[in-house]
Amino acid sequence: MSIQKDYLTDKKICRVKFSLPPDPDNTSKKVCVVGDFNNWDQKQTPMIKRKGGSYSVIVELKTENEYQFRYLIDETQWENDSDADKEVPSPFQDAWNSVIVI
């Protein structure tokens, strides 16, 4: 898992690249990044499967904000990002959300 931040010259927008490595069995069919920035819509931000089975997507986010997010794999499995800036408890029992600070 990785997160890359690229601040645009005006510093009001940051292009964030979310990336997931291939799963060990290479069986995942669909991965989306879901969070505050897309109103937790499970279909709005699909990740693109790359050669070798990794997934990535670029999202433009306003600076001076924090965004909670998680990855949704095959519409059933939620994952956090180990490279997130921090984690916070989610509203759901025994679950945490990743947070990116822009």
Domain positions in the chain are 2-101
Estimate to the nearest angstrom the gap between the alpha carbon of 36 and the chain centroid: 10
pLDDT tens digit sequence for 8-18: 988 899 999 99
Query: Cα dist. 87→48, 60, 67, 73, 101 in Å?
Result: 25, 21, 11, 19, 11
pLDDT tens digit sequence for 36-89: 999 999 999 999 999 888 999 999 999 999 999 999 999 999 999 999 999 999
Q: Which residue has the tokens 């990740």?
A: 47
pLDDT surpasses 80 at 26: no
Q: What pLDDT score does 35 carry?
A: 97
Estimate to the nearest angstrom the gap between the alpha carbon of 61 and the chain centroid: 12
Q: What pLDDT score does 94 carry?
A: 84
CA geometry: angle 88, 20, 52, nearest 5 deg: 170
Calpha distance 84→36 (Å, rounded): 14
Calpha distance 100→80 (Å, rounded): 11
Q: What pLDDT score does 93 carry?
A: 81
Structure tokens, 81: 């990002």
Task: Name the CATH code of domain 2-101 (choices 2.60.40.10, 3.20.20.70, 1.10.10.60, 1.20.1090.10).
Answer: 2.60.40.10
Contact (CB, 8 A) for 15 and 8: yes
**Quick one: average pLDDT of 26-37?**
90
